[in-house]
Amino acid sequence: MAPPVRATRTQRLIPFVLLGAGLYAFHNSFYGPFIFDDRYSILVNPTIRRLWPPWTALSPPSTVACPVAGRPIVNLSLAVNYALGGLDVRGYHAFNLAIHLLSALLLFGVVRRTLLSSSLRGRYGDQAPWLAMAVALLWTVHPLQTESVTYVIQRTELLVGLFFLLTLYCAIRGVDSVRPHAWYAAAVVACALGAGSKEVMVAAPLLVLLYDRVFLSRSLRDAFRRRGGLYAGLAASWLILFGLLLASPRPRAVAFGSQGLRAWDYAATECSVILHYLQLALWPHPLVVDYDDWPIATTPATVLLPAAAMLSLLGAAIWGLRRRPPLGFLGAWFFLILAPTSSFVPVPTEIAAERRMYLPLAATCVLAIMGGEAALRHLLLRERPHDTLRRYLGGGLLVATVAVLAQVTVRRNDDYRSTFAIWNDVVSKRPNNVRARLNLGDYFFRQGQIAEARRRRMPSVTIRRRSA
């Protein structure tokens, strides 16, 4: 990889643009209360009450209901929050947003250096920083990110996203550094931390290797020959994941809870779920924090069309890896990161969850920006007047899109302003969601409004009887 050109004075402002956009989009996320799974992970979690000795915070509860079970790095981050501000929810929201903004900067760095790689530098040249900024802006302010950022305990997704991007960024930096081993060591450490944050980190070593093959090396053999130590270190994170899974109740809970839900039925259902994710990436409405009522695909009408669409997308990704490797890498990024939760291993308690798109959304943002750049390049010729027009037109479209997405994100954050607001939002959008109705009834019960609690809960009984 050729070394990137030095940033101009204007380009040095890009990180501040990203930070400013992210702060605006999530400025009203600081006051939402702890909700749902926050209770087990924070409010009644005894292991976050002290930072010393550190192994206490690194030993999260092993109960099925606790999302931090088997995720010691997430639990440690909660202990840091508790040490700094107790149960003041603002500190937890600020921590989440800080992680998200750091990830945005890393995504910018990864995309910028990729566009300045030897295989792409000739096409994009001095546009690389601006295209990378556009990708990072869309990803940062997209409303689909609100569940990960604003719902406190979805910090699991934020931390694995941060360490995933940091692993890739450090690996890229090591290629053209005079001290590559320091960068590679940092990549291995980041990968290990990601393994302690969430199981989806299992895809990181594979995607770093694939990135190397697509953008840096002539072949997989060449990649292993040059950076074999890096890949051995990254693969070692699988041992960490394996050990944490053995100690966690999550695999046993999945195995028990999936009785009656076949792997094939789950995979067929996930085809429609992933298509729904893509729809939300393009048109982020309606956003829902809970999909308890997502139907299992068991009939030809619910299986065939989504499966055909998904197989077409998978086929396009495989074709891209052979014929258009950069495009194929985007497809691999999308599908490999979703694979642990959206393929053949049933997660019956959460058939769908918008937070799972936190990292895969980056691929759709890259595709949108690069596709838009290619369309403008095709429509307007390369001569100087058209080149200037293309830049102004592209910049105007970007500003308008980011402004709209950021405003939608602000409005979506407002749905998290109270326990009542978020569960009422779910019920209004998905009336057959039993879990949402029960949580809404529980809210009124805690307020002492027993009659209202019963009224809110009663439809859930009818829904369960009908579904049974």
Q: What is the pLDDT of residues 65-94, one digit of tens each?
A: 789 999 999 999 999 999 999 999 999 999
Q: What is the pLDDT of residues 180-197, one digit of tens each?
A: 999 999 999 999 999 999
User: How high is the mean pLDDT of the chain?
Assistant: 92
Query: CB-based burial of residue 51 (10 Å sphere; 0-12 exposed, 13-18 middle, 19+ buried)?
Result: middle
The sign one gets for the Cα dihedral 444, 450, 452, 454 is: positive
260 Rama sector, left if φ>0, alpha if ψ -120 to 50, beta otherwise: left
The backbone torsions φ and ψ at residue 109, rounded to the nearest 5 degrees and listed phi first, read: -65, -40
- Judged against a pLDDT cut of 70, whether residue 460 lies above it is answered with no
Residue 250's pLDDT is 65
The b/e string for 249-279 (b: 16+ C-beta within 10 A; e otherwise) is bbeebbeeebeebeeebbbbbbbbbbebbbe
Banded pLDDT at 261 (limits 50, 70, 90)? confident
Query: CB-based burial of residue 332 (10 Å sphere; 0-12 exposed, 13-18 middle, 19+ buried)?
Result: buried
Q: What is the pLDDT of residues 167-181, one digit of tens each?
A: 999 999 999 899 999
Place of tokens 């980190």: 201
